[in-house]
Amino acid sequence: MSDSLTIDADATRWSTGARDGLPLLVLLHGYGADEHDLFGLVPYLPEGIAVASVAAPLAPPWPAPGRSWYPIEGLNGRDPEGVTRAGRAFLAWLDAAAADASSVALLGFSQGAAVALQALRLAPERFGAVVALSGYASPGELPHDAALQELRPSIFWGRGTHDDVIPPPLVDHTAQWLPDHSDLVGRVYPGLTHSISEDELLDVRVFLEKWKDAAGE
């Protein structure tokens, strides 16, 4: 696999064309989805922000539909290097597409959540908050992890009790890693599978309202 990936900026969906000065929330979809998948969340998100939904750079193996951020070899095959490559590709997209945003937050689901957290680890100064839904923090160390322990960025981690997609060892790792490296808001939703619930979206909106208010100060 190449050491670099490229995100198709033309595929990005934007909630508004008038983005100057607005806080920016970027949506990162999961495996087999695309830039349209999470865009339906826009009505549940705070007003007064710009929202961008990005298309992942890879296609899953045929005949799987949609896009992917990194390859998955079975449920347990998630190479941290692949997550890092995707995080770097996302940062390159951000530099080109949204360098002038007043503040940037990320909302990722599943693979997108893993990439959102990895992008934060690669460039902690770039982001005001991260929402990680049904995802995980990738194992291994990165150069800025110690800085995160000092910065303690705001992270919302939501998952369901019946999510059987993310392997338990990765959930356990994330449950230990996030409190040590962030100002964490964690929620576990009874009965929720590998999906997003309305209760979770209510919690996400409250979390993002705080980010938006802080961005406007």
Give the C-alpha distances (Å, rounded to integers) separating 135 from 17, 42, 163, 216.
30, 20, 10, 29
Residue 77: pLDDT above 80? no
- Residue 3: inside a domain, yes or no? no
181 is catalytic: no
Cα(62)–Cα(81) distance, integer angstroms: 23
Find out whether 120 and 147 touch, Cβ atoms under 8 Å: no
Cα(119)–Cα(112) distance, integer angstroms: 10
Residue 153: pLDDT above 90? yes
Provide mean pLDDT across the span 148-156. Answer: 96
DSSP letter at 41 equals: G
Residue 73: pLDDT above 50? yes
Residue 50: pLDDT above 60? yes
Residue 74: pLDDT above 80? no
Q: Which domain holds residue 34?
A: 9-215
* Beta partners for residue 187, in sequence order: 158
Give the confidence band of 1 by pLDDT, cuts at 50, 70, 90: very low
Per-residue model confidence (pLDDT) at position 217: 63
Residue 76: pLDDT above 70? no
Per-residue model confidence (pLDDT) at position 60: 83
Per-residue model confidence (pLDDT) at position 19: 85
Give the confidence band of 4 by pLDDT, cuts at 50, 70, 90: confident
Give the C-alpha distances (Å, rounded to integers) separating 213 from 43, 48, 106, 129, 209.
18, 10, 16, 12, 6
Per-residue model confidence (pLDDT) at position 100: 85
Phi-psi group of 110: left, alpha or beta (phi > 0 → left; psi -120 to 50 → alpha; rest → beta): left
Provide mean pLDDT across the span 40-68. Answer: 93
Provide mean pLDDT across the span 120-143. Answer: 97
CATH of the domain at 149: 3.40.50.1820
pTM of the model: 0.95
How do residues 11-36 score in pLDDT, each as one tens digit? Answer: 999 998 888 889 999 999 999 999 99
- Residue 101: inside a domain, yes or no? yes
Cα(211)–Cα(208) distance, integer angstroms: 5
Residue 102: pLDDT above 80? yes
* Beta partners for residue 158, in sequence order: 133, 187
- Residue 171: inside a domain, yes or no? yes
How many structural domains is the chain composed of? 1
- Residue 183: inside a domain, yes or no? yes
Cα(147)–Cα(145) distance, integer angstroms: 5
24 against 77, higher pLDDT? 24
- Residue 107: inside a domain, yes or no? yes
Catalytic residue among 53, 110, 134, 154: 110
Per-residue model confidence (pLDDT) at position 2: 47
Return phi, psi of residue 197, to 5°: -105, 165
- Residue 2: inside a domain, yes or no? no
Per-residue model confidence (pLDDT) at position 3: 65
Mean pLDDT of the chain: 93
Provide mean pLDDT across the span 43-54. Answer: 96
204 SS3 class: helix
Q: Which residue, 128, 106, 100, is CA-closest to 118?
A: 106
194 is catalytic: yes
- Residue 118: inside a domain, yes or no? yes
Give the 3-state DSSP-derived string for 63-83, with helices as H, strands as E and coil as C: CCCCEECCCCCCCCCCCHHHH
Catalytic residue among 37, 134, 154, 163: 163
110 is catalytic: yes
